[in-house]
Each structure stands twice: as C-alpha cells, then as structure tokens.
Structure 1
C-alpha cells in the first residue's frame, strides 16, 4: 500500500503541474495496457486532485475519456494489424491474462459489439477488449462509439468516488473489492456456461 500511495502521489503531482494533458497521458497509458497502476487506483486519485480544485471535476472526466479512447485505439490498431499471432504471443508472455482473453473472446462471439461496451466495466477484461476488437476487424466507428460509452461510465464512477470520498481511501478500496468479487463471479459463470455448452454440443454431435 505504501508503494501505491507513493506512486499515486507522484501521479497527482504530475497532474497538478501539467493539468489535463497529464490526465489524458496517464489514462491513455493505462488503457493501452501499459504496465502501471490499474484505473481502480489512478482514476480515484484524479478525482481527489479535482476535489482540490487543481483541475475541474468535469474537465477531469472529459480528459480521462479522451485519454481512454487514445489508449484503446492504440490497442485496437495493434490487434487489427497484429491479428491472432499477437494474441497468442501475449498469452505465452503473460500467462495471467490468458483467462481474461478467453472470456473476452466468448463474450465477443456471443454479444459482438456490445461486448466492447460492457467489458469496459469489468476489471482485467476492460483493456484487452481493444486488441480482440481489432483482431476481429470490428469497424473502427463502431469500436469508438461503444468504447466511448463504456469508458465514460467507468471513468465517471471512479473519478466521482475519488472526488467525493477520496479522503476515505479504505472505503473506496472496499467498494472496488466488492465490485471485483461481483465481476469475478460473472466471469466465472460465463466460463462455466461456455464449457457446459461446448461439452453438450460435442455429446449431441456424436
């Protein structure tokens, strides 16, 4: 937790000094799967900075959406031009994300463009959906539209948490932990359902 606080304070210092450009850059890096703190930490601290009137509340949300779209488009283009070989390399290099990518694939097969929206609201899957969408050659306009809606909802919720209750970080942690548990249950249900349907299909086809 000390590391998180130290890094978060550094990010807040950068936002204080640079302003909205820093918010755009930080959120773009996070949405581009850059190895840094997750949005569950970054965005509430941006909300805290807004509460200190270094930047405005709505300005923080708007600039974070712009950053999220930039980062998402970078990953979309990587998937678009990298294709499935890129996905396979990611699974090998980062084994921990294999499950998340498989869940995203299942959701994408079932819900199509809507998966771009609601996976934005689920930890772990929310950034990798951009690469999957690019790999499947989803139209860029459709990708931007559904991404923007999901990013707007996610960013607004977390920035608002930081803005209004940033003084009670333990409470924010509690909320996000409960939400993560809920999201994990949903992911588990999706995986179990997919496995069950696959086995049932194999049995019926024999």
Structure 2
C-alpha cells in the first residue's frame, strides 16, 4: 500500500510511520506509538491520524488500529513507570537536595499532591501533550499499584488514541490536518509550563533575596 504523507506533517516522522505500517500492519502502528511514549519528540498527533487514514483505506481495521495503538501506549508508559520505580523516592530526594532553588519541602508537597490526585493525574495526563509520557515516571516513583496504573493508563490512552484515529479516519486523505489543530493545544501546554517555571524561579529568587 502507498499512503499519502503530505509535506505539512512531520515529514520524516510520517514516512517512518508509513513504513512501519506497511511492513507490520496494525502492530506497526502500535510499535510507533510505544516509541512515541518513550521519545516524546515523536508526535502521536501524526502517527495516530495516519493510522486512522490507513484504516479508512481498508488496509487495517479500525478496531485493530485502536487496539494496537492503545497497547503500544501502555507498553511505553509501563517502561517509564519502571524507570520511575527503579529511581525511587530516595534518589529523587537526593537529586532535589542538590538542585538550586529546589527545597525538599517542594518534593514533600508534590508527593502529598500525588497521593491525593495521582489517579486523576495519570488518567487525565494521558490526554495532555508532553505530560502524557512524563506522568508515568512519578507514578513509578510513588509506586502506584501496578493494576491501578495499567487500568488508568489504558483508559486514558484509549480516549486520546480514539480521538485522533477517528479524526484521521473521517478526514481520509486530509488526515494530516489534525496535526495543525493538535499543535495549538501543544503550544498552550508549553506556554503554561514556561509561565509556571518563570513564576517558580522568580518567586524563589525573591524569597532568597529577602
């Protein structure tokens, strides 16, 4: 099969995803998504709509696209969870103690917040660009029960994947347009993170000055 990879998309990423799907079918889409979880610069906003377009052509079923991409999401998230579990709380605290402007009570507050809201964070975090991969690490650090983590990750990933796959399925040859709209959300998230970091550094420097 030959799929359309419009220049407006990620270019090499789209071509790479196409190659995986041509070689492996739906499991290739799952492998691409698993790697996207481990390497966030690989955009799921390209891979998932492309999988939906592929399904619209009949080269894979819609159910297979949803199943394999969600399985790939869970595998990638599990790998990051295990990284967090291997690092552990004590090493995180030791690293934080050496960082400028960071205090151990900041870590304590973060842990307390995660204890209260961790389940919501893992579920909803799977639907937020950038955080959808990173949220698995603190879940591992805090040793969230693995069955809970897997259930929440599966549910959140299925929602995220379904939105983009169905969009690509409906748009057909114009599947690449999805990335433009998703890019707006990603810019908002990046902007919010940047503002938060600036606020944190500024307030901490003011306190130190006093």
Normalised-by-shorter TM-score class:
0.7 to 0.9
Query: Which residue number corresponds to residue 130 of structure 2?
Result: 124
Q: Give CA deviations for 1:116-166 in whole Å, capped at 9, x if unaligned.
A: 001111101110111110001111011011111110100111111111114
Equivalences for residues 126-165 of structure 1 within 5 A: 126-165=132-171
Match status 1:56 vs 2:61:
yes
Structure 1 distance, partners of 2:9, 2:158, is 28
Equivalent pairs counted in the alignment come to 181
Aligned mate of 1:76, from 70, 76, 81: 81
Match status 1:38 vs 2:48:
no
The TM-score, its normalising length taken from structure 2, stands at 0.72
Equivalences for residues 1-206 of structure 1 within 5 A: 4-31=10-37, 33-34=38-39, 37-84=42-89, 85=91, 108=114, 111-169=117-175, 171-184=177-190, 191=196
Q: Bigger radius of gyration, 1 or 2?
A: 2
- Once the two structures are TM-superposed, the CA of residue 37 in structure 1 deviates from its matched residue by 1.6
Structure 2 distance, partners of 1:23, 1:178, is 24
Structure 1 distance, partners of 2:181, 2:9, is 20
Unaligned 5+ residue runs, structure 1?
90-101
- Once the two structures are TM-superposed, the CA of residue 80 in structure 1 deviates from its matched residue by 0.7
Unaligned 5+ residue runs, structure 2?
1-6, 96-106
- Once the two structures are TM-superposed, the CA of residue 82 in structure 1 deviates from its matched residue by 1.8
- Once the two structures are TM-superposed, the CA of residue 56 in structure 1 deviates from its matched residue by 0.7
Assess, with a 3 A threshold, how the Cα gap between structure 1 residues 166 and 87 changes in structure 2: closer, same or farther: farther
Structure 1 distance, partners of 2:93, 2:30, is 26
Alpha carbon RMSD of aligned pairs, Å?
Answer: 3.2
The runs of at least 4 consecutive aligned structure 1 residues that moved more than 6 Å come to: 86-89
The TM-score, its normalising length taken from structure 1, stands at 0.73
Structure 1 distance, partners of 2:78, 2:32, is 15
Task: Name the structure where helix makes up a greater proportion of residues.
Answer: 1
